Structure 1
Amino acid sequence: MRKVSDIVKFAGLLAFVSGFALALASDGARAQTAGRNDTAQSRKTVARKPPAAQPVLSGKPAERLLVEAAELIYDNDNNTVTARGNAELHYGPRTLQADRVRYDRASSRVFAEGNVRLTDETGAVVTGETMELTDDFKNGFVDALRIQHTVEMRGQPVRTRFSAPRGERVDGEQTTFESGTYTACEPCKNNPEIPPLWQVRAAKIVHNNETHTISFEESVLELAGIPVGYLPYFEAPDPTVKRKTGFLTPRFITSTALGRGAALPFFINVAPNFDITLSPAFLSNQGILGQGEIRHRLETGTYIVRASGIFQTTPSAFLPGPLGAGDRDFRGAIESKGQFYINDRWRTGWDVVGVTDKWFLDNYRIRNSNITTDYFREAVSTAYLIGQGDRSWFEARAYYFKGLSSYDWQKEQPIVAPVIDYDKRINGPSFLGGEVRFEANITHLDREATDFQGIPRTGSYLYNPTVNGVTYPLYETCTTFTRSTCIIRGLAGSNTRASAQLSWRRTFIDDAGQVFTPFAYLRTDAFFVDPKNSGYQNALAQTISTTDSDFSGRVMPAVGLDYRYPFVSNFGPLGVHTLEPIAQVVIRPSETHIGRLPNEDAQSLVFDDTSLFEWDKFSGYDRVEGGVRTNLGAQYSVVTPSGWYANVMFGESIQVAGVNSFRRGDIANVGLDSGLERRESDYVGRFQLSPNQNISFITRARFEQRDFSINRMETGVIARLAPFAPVDLSMFYSYYDAQPQLGFNNRREGVIATATYHITPNWFVTGSALVDLTHYIDVRDTFANAYTAYLANPVGAAPVYTNPGRTYLAGLSVGGGYQDECTTFSLNYIVSPTAAALGVTERNRTVLLRVELKTLGEVDLRQNVNIATTADGIAATR
């Protein structure tokens, strides 16, 4: 036997043993002496058919065998060929590695010993102390078997592991584990004998690579080595499968109105691009809640349809109408979402939801992504057509708003269809240069009833509730519309508006670095208003227009100049400092028809640093800013080489000539109490500081022009303190002064904060809180109603107003959990406000437990822990 120091490589057609046999035949002159062992000394490539006396393998002819080893030994006495010393054999997509590999030609078996590792075509890794395989690696037995497979779940790699004292591999497609275990957890590095966080132990585990299923017989789920669950038999898809027909993780339900029950989802894989999920929920108090979902992906897009419904066996568990759905036998909902690409520039789609009643989704705890906020619950349905060019945008939409809170009146919700927007930018003509932009919008909406709000009273009263020297006036009532007592949020009837704006701008920079941007625009609007004629709505219609159905137009031309002069200085390690004065002037005529046109989309007016230099500070098309106005300000910024960034900005807006659009309120009083209603506006400012990319402080505020008191302020911090501290946090404080002409008679003040502390890389605690620092609304309104009744019938003692307190915990979530590569566990206590059917705001207290064992499934358990509450639409819950 002669050893070779280099790696010996053989390549042959067909199968594992063919390579050895052909290598032996080609070197037969040195293998004729009985008992003599020869060592190959050179790399040989064999491409001829093996002799008939030798076994012919059934492998693919195109697959070649590549052998790498420190030495290759031929033993003719025992009819074996052995590769020894870091042996590595590649056959097609499969690779076998071991300290020693011996092939028995008589039995066509391969015996691998020592650190055996077999990698198949799927990437799965089989390890063991010894392996006995057929010559194509597809069949055999393995001692101390372990299999590791890496799959991707939710964009993250997950490794799954099988192990058993002994396993059998059949046809390369099926592996049987006797007394086996399965887990997705990494073994302990310091003590791999310790049981993983979770594993499934079974008398037999069969992994079928052809059907991609794993079956467990006499199985037990263990947590940290402790048995917690038993199933005599179950089957599940292996981690490589993303879609397979079968049952999903059940969901358990506990509620006084619904009783106890469980939802059993069943997934049907109709086709690779089409599936159905049926989730019947069996409820002890209400019967069977049917739920289903269809998902279908087509060549040009995809759509989803969900439906749910129930014939209630105990409707009396819910309040009767109009405070609940207790008078309904059948309740249900349907929702759908889809998007399709017409071509590379156009797409269309929808996102809609319909319910039999506003309480159904909440009462039956059906998750819906279209539901927004805890305070003003509504479902928004929309359908759209969108086109996008290189410098253009087209969008057409329709909206339907469904109020889902007990105090919502659906007749006040508008149906908006269509809303059409078009935006096109082109280069200006040669004699002007710059950029020309064309914008257009068409909006039509219908509403059955006018949405109005009373303005707080400011006159004298027979009784004024006063606490600590602060007077709380009562709200006016809107029995008929008068501008001094009512705010109109939405007008009954139909309203159509068509708007178009053509604008031009161009930037010039002179040799001194001054930046001049002249601009001009022409805005036109046409309104078609048809108010409903009943009661106060008729009075409102006469206020809006002179006839029941009327047309109004508006034209607004403007020219202006934006001037900036940045001074930049580089102070080396102290960074680059920039001081930039900014001045802007806009010249235009006064706004016409102020207060005599509907205002649906321009009611959200916030004057701050972000809107100071806007040409038009109104948020929508229904209002347009007029008059001559100049906007003045300056900003200072610093950027250092170490990553520091700071920015300070300050300015104000001045009405130079013409009618101030913000001084004369419309039917929603937009503009009043905005900080822009006087000739010289409030001051606005911003301060931002980012010491590094992980920490940001920002404050923006609006200051009273006369005494510099704060009218509006928002300040907060977002920080990720790692690696200095394992903490992520954010905290924001907001303060808004009273705006009585907009219906807010008291200041609004609150804090929202969230924080997560990573105790270890796996364990964490987290919390969030929303605190209302000026919680007067509920008690004030309750007193207002009682005092109004007293004035109408002054019998007995007048109601007494009591201080409701200055703070209110509007929302709270505290909890913690554990997360690693195979397990996610979290436990949270949640407090959220809910407006009950009887008009009482209460706190809903819930404990939420969530456990996810990756590749097996997840379970959510939610339990309401209120001592007593009146839930929205539910008669009684304890």
Structure 2
Amino acid sequence: MTRLLRLVSLTLALLLPATLHAQQDDEAMPAMLVADQVRLDGRTRLVAEGNVEVLQGDTRLRAAQITYDRDTEELLITGPIVITNGEDELILADEARLERDLRNGLVRSARVVLDQQLQLAAARLDRVNGRYSQLTRATVSSCKVCGTQAPLWQIRARRVVHDTEAKQLYFDDARFEVKGIPIFYLPRLRLPDPTQTRATGFLIPSIRRNSQLGTGVKIPYFIRLGDHRDLTITPYISPRTRTLEWRYRQAYVNGRITFNGAITRDDLRPNKTRAYITGTGVFELPRDFVLDFAIESTSDNAYISDYSYSDADRLESRVTLSRIRRDEYFAAELAYYHTLRVNENNSTIPSIIGDARYERRLFPRAGGELRLTAETHSHLRYSNLTVDGTDPDTVSDGRDLGRISAGISWGNRWTLPGGIRAAFRTGVVVDAFRVRQDLAARPDSVDQVTPNAQLILRWPWTRQDPGGVTQIIEPMAMVAWSGGQRPNLVNDESTRVEFDEGNLLALSRFPAADRRERGLQTAVGVSWSRIAPEGWDAKLTFGTVLRKTADPAFSASSGLAGTRSDLLVAGQLKNLNGLTLTGRGLFDTGLVLNKAEARAHWNIGRYDLSASYIWLSADPAEARPSAVSEWAFASSIDLGQHWTALVSSHYDIAANQPISAGLGLIYSNECVDVTLSASRSFTSSTIVTPATDFSLLIGLRGFSANTSGRGATRSCN
């Protein structure tokens, strides 16, 4: 019996190749044999028969009979044989004859199922050297087979060899069939098995039809360069372009990098080589520092739009070093910007920008929090002009700026009688500016000192309903003062100001230090919240800002111009049916809308819908001569067991014309994924031409690790 158990243990190692490599000492692994009868047949044959079942770890073997013959040193297993190894592998066979060392043998009428996806059926399966499974007259498919009907797709081959260590499938005289109809023939073919995560070879090709580039095909090829890096190259060939796309990835002990790019020769720009590159990386450094970078570059402004690589209209390359601790923050960044916009000139926009910031929190024994800050900023334009050109702003075309800021503040919080929450903060900030190549009317060096004080009061009222719903009404008020005077410095950093519920109670709403709110100001508001364990949650906020003196640095559409700001209204609604509504708007004293945005998302069952709307009033101070009114819509709809529809649209209401539109249809089942999509870009300019794209992608499930998320399995009639 002991000898039989050892042999059965080795049998499992033989028939289950996924576990062979891990079993360094097969005979030492325990196995449990259960059978109706175990007997000796003569002096040399040991037989276990009747509902024979062998258990070894996650592996289970069931057979009608297992016989060991000591004279021939063969192990005979009579079926039906069923072997399972966890959830990743299933083997069915009629009978098996194996040599004593179990590295070679024969299995008849074998069927192997890998990762519950790929089925390999053969009249004969030979095991060679304990590593290779050779299937003769084999059929491979991941489709459901209904009786004698041909599967949706299958690969027939004279021979299939499964290398269990390399996790590869090798086909000889392979014929690909769809519903039993031969489509193409390949004398040699290699594919990864579904347990393979990274293997050199071709990936799924795609077909693309573009109104400018014609009909083309993309054939990606994945190259495994090691355990921690790889390269994917994708030739894209059509009548009007010859493009090579590529992606490089590498992982390190403390980080990772990814680079994407393409190089092109096409008919859109004859006799010119076009290219682009993007890259990202992040590394964890000693002492909690993190280094990350991003690179974006292109040979011409229209290239990434022509090939749908990106819809960005400005490219950013940067490198950042940062560290975040409980009471300390540090970040330093150097960035480079390249504009693709028609109305901008790269020589007159701030192209090179450097920033660094340090912040430290201290907690003195007297109470409260002491905060120390230091910050530096600089930006450089390529132009050397000291006069204003044709740009929409009033900045010198070559103006460069550098700034150093330092501040100290102290603050504390208290709970007053009646449940009123009070927060007080006071401090001083010093800014020093150095300017080069500016208009002659302004000085080259400017300094400013800004003392400040701020008091915030909140009074939350809470009510608990019998159903568990909590409602909170919170009146809020702020009184703040900032001293000093604004220096004679052009607005170069704070050209766009946003007013929302996040900065309603802020000391200054300008995004940078070249502009600070000064004088006495008051902000008042109220918020209402509803929190329900079951039902719908909501929040609504109203607020406005009052000043003694208007600040001319605020534009008309910012909502903060004048002594009284626009009325801020912001709200959010969520329910258990997957609906989320978010909106905010700024209304002037006549309840005329200045700015508004709204977003909606609904995810329920078969539907995933999202929509957004934005309204910006005309404001020449923000380089917006006419109003902006746009909406966007995107949806995913489950049409049935296997079909999904995709719809998207972006429309310019102010101009009464579409910006983009797209349609897609996805078919997915247990063995195939088919994606058909069409999109149209209506945007046109001196460098961008409207274009229409069609693409077709067909993926066969069972040869890739990322197909383990299976589609709905078809049913047989």
Count of equivalent residues: 694
Change (3 A) 1:355 1:825: same
Aligned residue type for 2:510: F
- Quote the residue 1:430 is aligned against: 365
Change (3 A) 1:405 1:835: farther
> Is 1:542 the counterpart of 2:426 in the alignment?
no
State the percentage of identical aligned residues.
23
Contact kept, 8 Å, 2:4 with 2:46, in 1: the verdict is no
Contact kept, 8 Å, 2:385 with 2:437, in 1: the verdict is no
Aligned residue type for 2:374: A
Task: Give the TM-score, by structure 1 length.
Answer: 0.72
Q: 1:341 is matched with which residue: 284, 287, 299?
A: 284
How far off is 1:774 after superposition? 0.6
- Quote the residue 1:235 is aligned against: 190
- Quote the residue 1:212 is aligned against: 167
Q: 1:272 is matched with which residue: 204, 227, 230?
A: 227
Measured against aligned partners, the alpha-carbon deviations of 1:153-197 in whole angstroms (never above 9, x if no partner) come to: xxxxx7332222332222331112222222344x36xx4655444
Change (3 A) 1:196 1:423: farther
RMSD over aligned Cα atoms: 3.5
- How far apart in 2 are the matches of 1:450 and 1:728? 52
- Quote the residue 2:346 is aligned against: 410
Change (3 A) 1:682 1:337: closer
- Quote the residue 2:690 is aligned against: 843
| Superposition map of 1:281-680 within 5 A | 293-305=247-259, 308-309=262-263, 317-318=267-268, 329-343=272-286, 345-362=288-305, 365=307, 367=309, 371-373=310-312, 377-405=313-341, 408-427=344-363, 429-431=364-366, 433-449=367-383, 487-488=393-394, 491-531=397-437, 541-543=439-441, 545-546=442-443, 550-573=444-467, 575-589=469-483, 591-593=485-487, 596-655=488-547, 657=548, 659-661=549-551, 664-665=552-553, 670-680=554-564
- How far apart in 2 are the matches of 1:451 and 1:179? 78
- Quote the residue 1:470 is aligned against: none
| Superposition map of 1:29-428 within 5 A | 60=25, 63-77=28-42, 79-90=44-55, 95-119=60-84, 123-135=88-100, 137-150=102-115, 159-185=117-143, 187=144, 191=146, 194-249=149-204, 265-279=220-234, 293-305=247-259, 308-309=262-263, 317-318=267-268, 329-343=272-286, 345-362=288-305, 365=307, 367=309, 371-373=310-312, 377-405=313-341, 408-427=344-363
- Quote the residue 2:15 is aligned against: none
How far off is 1:564 after superposition? 0.9
Contact kept, 8 Å, 1:14 with 1:64, in 2: the verdict is no
Measured against aligned partners, the alpha-carbon deviations of 1:64-111 in whole angstroms (never above 9, x if no partner) come to: 452322323323338432223432235688653223323333333333
Measured against aligned partners, the alpha-carbon deviations of 1:211-262 in whole angstroms (never above 9, x if no partner) come to: 3321112222233444333322211233333333344455667778767766
How far off is 1:572 after superposition? 0.9
Measured against aligned partners, the alpha-carbon deviations of 1:540-588 in whole angstroms (never above 9, x if no partner) come to: x134x14xxx110112111111111111111211622211111111122
Aligned residue type for 1:525: D
Q: For 2:393, what is the secondary structure of its paired residue?
A: strand
> Is 1:830 the counterpart of 2:679 in the alignment?
yes
- How far apart in 1 are the matches of 2:396 and 2:95? 79
Aligned residue type for 2:534: S
Q: 1:718 is matched with which residue: 569, 579, 601?
A: 601
- The structure where strand makes up a greater share of residues is 2
Change (3 A) 1:695 1:85: farther
- Between stretches 513-522 and 266-275, larger displacement belongs to 266-275
> Is 1:681 the counterpart of 2:565 in the alignment?
yes
Q: Which runs of 5+ in 2 are unaligned?
A: 12-22, 706-717
Aligned residue type for 2:36: E
- How far apart in 1 are the matches of 2:214 and 2:610? 39
- How far apart in 2 are the matches of 1:684 and 1:19? 75
Change (3 A) 1:450 1:810: farther
How far off is 1:446 after superposition? 1.0
Measured against aligned partners, the alpha-carbon deviations of 1:611-654 in whole angstroms (never above 9, x if no partner) come to: 21222111233321111111101111122342321222112110
How far off is 1:517 after superposition? 0.9
Change (3 A) 1:17 1:691: closer
Measured against aligned partners, the alpha-carbon deviations of 1:718-740 in whole angstroms (never above 9, x if no partner) come to: 11122xxx211112222223324
Aligned residue type for 1:430: R
- Quote the residue 2:708 is aligned against: none
Q: 1:690 is matched with which residue: 574, 577, 585?
A: 574
- How far apart in 2 are the matches of 1:260 and 1:102? 62
Contact kept, 8 Å, 2:378 with 2:401, in 1: the verdict is yes
Task: Give the TM-score, by structure 2 length.
Answer: 0.87
- How far apart in 2 are the matches of 1:19 and 1:253? 51
How far off is 1:360 after superposition? 4.2
- How far apart in 1 are the matches of 2:65 and 2:525? 80
- How far apart in 2 are the matches of 1:855 and 1:14? 34
- How far apart in 2 are the matches of 1:391 and 1:111? 71
Measured against aligned partners, the alpha-carbon deviations of 1:772-819 in whole angstroms (never above 9, x if no partner) come to: 1111xxxxxxxxxxxxxxxxxxxxxxxxxxxxxxx2111211222123
How far off is 1:530 after superposition? 0.2
Contact kept, 8 Å, 2:209 with 2:694, in 1: the verdict is no
Change (3 A) 1:489 1:111: farther
Change (3 A) 1:135 1:694: farther
> Is 1:765 the counterpart of 2:645 in the alignment?
yes
Measured against aligned partners, the alpha-carbon deviations of 1:329-388 in whole angstroms (never above 9, x if no partner) come to: 44444554333322250122322234443344455x384xxx453xxx232111222222
Aligned residue type for 2:173: E
Q: For 1:506, what is the secondary structure of its paired residue?
A: strand
- How far apart in 2 are the matches of 1:59 and 1:680? 80
Change (3 A) 1:701 1:690: same
